[in-house]
Amino acid sequence: MAIFVYAENINGVYKKAAFEAVSYAKSIADKMGDTVTAISVNPTDASDSLYKYGANNVINIKDDGLKNFSAKAYAQAVNEVATGNIIIFPHTTDASSIAPMLAIMKDSSLITNVLETPENLSPFQVKRRAFSGKGFMHAKADAQAVIVTVSQNAFGVEENPVSGSEEIKNLTISNEDTKVLSHEQSSGKLDLKEAEVVVSAGRGMKGPENWGMIEDLANTLGAATACSKPVSDIGWRPHTEHVGQTGKAISPNLYIAIGISGAIQHLAGVNSSKTIVVINNDPEAPFFKSADYGVVGDAFQIIPALTQKIKALKG
């Protein structure tokens, strides 16, 4: 019985989170001497991009009724094709909306926010994020079947090319409960939860007019931007950038915190970043205790200079 994995796409294009989920599924399949079957809804990308990460089979669901997202309709679609006992999802907004509904349809255990490959396969046991980044839980599935959602950027993307095959599955799921009225999505912008580098700033930046230098640094690094809660509360930055215990939990390879004091609620959301750089003019700022590298000084001087130096490095 194959390991199934939901390969999420945006407007037909696979997300990095899809590749990560396939990589994760592949690591389990290898342990079990099993294969990986990826499921995708109305993709336009070629399946080759999923074979590259280890998907032996790709089931492309074609259904005009699924043009727009509906958690329930998508869960029904996945339910029809995912016949295995292990189903992997990325922990994206859409996938983490489908997974709980599917868990009910399939009488499965659902383990969300998973960080590593399972510690045990039968019963399925795995380490997951808990207490909003303040702790970890080793969760054990009691049901026969298990659905997991993999925390983004935790396992990583691993190339593992196989020669795969594709199957088209035509479905006609009815969706009368929800109707999309409008959809705004900026395609060029780097997704905060997927980003490998995040440049984040807090109240120390004094006002929204000073974010130009933050964006310059972010652009130079190919990074996404984030902010502390008060910065989004007062409307300097959009809510979508708020990281922390009550915002997004992220785990980039590099997190640069500028003018952020390092309150416990902020740290909770970012402390699983692999490397943390803190820039703050107060040597006593608590954030330095949770940093790998620190610079005490004025962000308004440091940031433009740092951006120049990184530009020079990148040539």
Ligand X SMILES: Cc1cc2nc3c(=O)[nH]c(=O)nc-3n(C[C@H](O)[C@H](O)[C@H](O)COP(=O)(O)OP(=O)(O)OC[C@H]3O[C@@H](n4cnc5c(N)ncnc54)[C@H](O)[C@@H]3O)c2cc1C
Give the H or E element holding residue 311: helix 299-314
Kindly identify the residues of this chain, within the stretch 129-188, that bind other proteins according to CB under 8 A: 129-143, 149, 176-187
Which of the listed partners (ligand X, other proteins, none) does 54 bind, with a CB threshold of 5 to 8 Å by partner kind?
none
Q: Which does 63 bind (CB under 5 to 8 A by kind): other proteins, ligand X, none?
A: none
Chain positions 219 to 248 lying near ligand X, rule: CB under 6 A, are 228-231, 244-247
Check residue 291 for interaction with ligand X (CB under 6 A): no
Supply 114's token pair.
């998973």
Q: How far is the CB of 239 from ligand X (least distance, A)?
A: 11
Residues 6+ apart with CB under 8 A from 299: 201, 204, 205, 258, 259, 279, 280, 281
Q: Which is nearer to other proteins, 166 or 281 (CB)?
A: 281
* Contacting ligand X within 73-92 (CB under 6 A): none
Residue of 266, 273, 288, 306 that binds ligand X (CB under 6 A): 266
Q: Choosing among other proteins, ligand X, none, which partner's interface includes residue 280 (Cβ < 5 to 8 Å by kind)?
A: ligand X
- The verdict on 298 binding ligand X (CB under 6 A) reads yes
Q: How far is the CB of 269 from ligand X (least distance, A)?
A: 6
Binding mask 190-229 for other proteins (x = CB under 8 A): -x-xx--x-----------------------x--------
DSSP string, 10-59: ETTEEPHHHHHHHHHHHHHHHHHT--EEEEEES--S-THHHHTTT-SEEE
Q: For residue 223, report the phi and psi dihedrals to the nearest 5 degrees.
A: -105, 160
Q: Does 290 bind ligand X (CB under 6 A)?
A: no
Q: Rounded to whole angstroms, how far apart are CA atoms 307 and 292? A: 19
100 binds ligand X (CB under 6 A): no
Binding mask 44-83 for other proteins (x = CB under 8 A): -------------------------xxxx--x--------
Give residues 113-132 in contact with other proteins (rule: CB under 8 A). 113, 125, 127-132
Residue 215 CB, shortest distance to ligand X, in Å, is: 17
DSSP tag of 66: G
Q: Which is nearer to other proteins, 60 or 112 (CB)?
A: 112
Torsion of CA 42, 43, 44, 50, to 10 degrees: -160
Run of H or E including 87: strand 86-90
User: Cα separation of 259 and 220, whole Å?
Assistant: 19
**C-beta of residue 117 within 8 angstroms of C-beta of residue 3:** no
Q: Is 105:85 a contact under the CB 8 Å cutoff?
A: no
**Strand 124-130 vs strand 293-296: parallel, antiparallel, or unpaired?**
unpaired
Give me the residues that bind ligand X (CB under 6 A), please. 202-204, 228-231, 244-247, 259-261, 263, 265-266, 269, 280-282, 285, 298-300
